[in-house]
């Protein structure tokens, strides 16, 4: 797939993710453009859920709406526990976490390699 088409695909999936997270009241949503840091994915979205039930509900809704649009996740981790759910949608990787888990792992800082945060943050 040409780079421009891949970028459009990532943006389209990113918009679906943003819509679901917003509709289900996920908190502290951060969208990172990580193309300049890795070839594994284009966008990383990190959000906080208020409880394990909320984290699972957001993740399940994202999976359902993605399926309706023909998206098949490459991987899903943590759905049973609901503390940290990772959904790999190829061009977009989504992390939905409880506040204590998000604070502990601090993914935003992890992906701020060598001060590149300003170049990659799109929100």
Considering only CA atoms, which of 87, 79, 33 is closest in space to residue 57?
79
- The residue segments making up the domain with residue 76 are 3-120
pLDDT at 2 over 50: no
Please say whether the beta carbons of 24 and 57 come within 8 A.
yes
Q: What Å distances lie between residue 3 and 9, 13, 32, 93, 108, CA to CA?
A: 10, 15, 18, 18, 25
Q: What is the pLDDT of residues 55-66, one digit of tens each?
A: 999 999 999 999
- What pTM was estimated for this model as a whole? 0.83
Total structural domains within the chain: 1
Q: Pick 108 or 96 by higher pLDDT.
A: 96
Q: Distance between CA 14 and CA 22 in Å, rounded?
A: 12
CATH of the domain at 100: 3.30.460.10
| Across 17-22, average pLDDT | 95
């Amino acid at each position: 797939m040409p780079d421009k088409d891949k970028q459009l695909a990532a943006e389209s999936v990113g918009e679906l993710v943003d819509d679901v997270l917003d509709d289900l009241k996920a908190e502290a949503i951060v969208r990172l453009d990580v193309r300049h840091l890795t070839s594994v994915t284009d966008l990383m979205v990190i959000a906080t859920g208020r409880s394990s039930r909320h984290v699972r509900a957001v993740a399940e809704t994202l999976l359902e709406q993605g399926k309706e649009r023909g998206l098949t996740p490459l991987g899903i981790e943590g759905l049973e526990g609901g503390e940290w759910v990772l959904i790999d949608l190829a061009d977009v990787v989504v992390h939905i976490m409880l506040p204590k888990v998000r604070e502990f792992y601090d993914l935003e800082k992890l992906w701020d390699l060598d001060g590149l945060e300003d170049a990659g943050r799109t929100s």
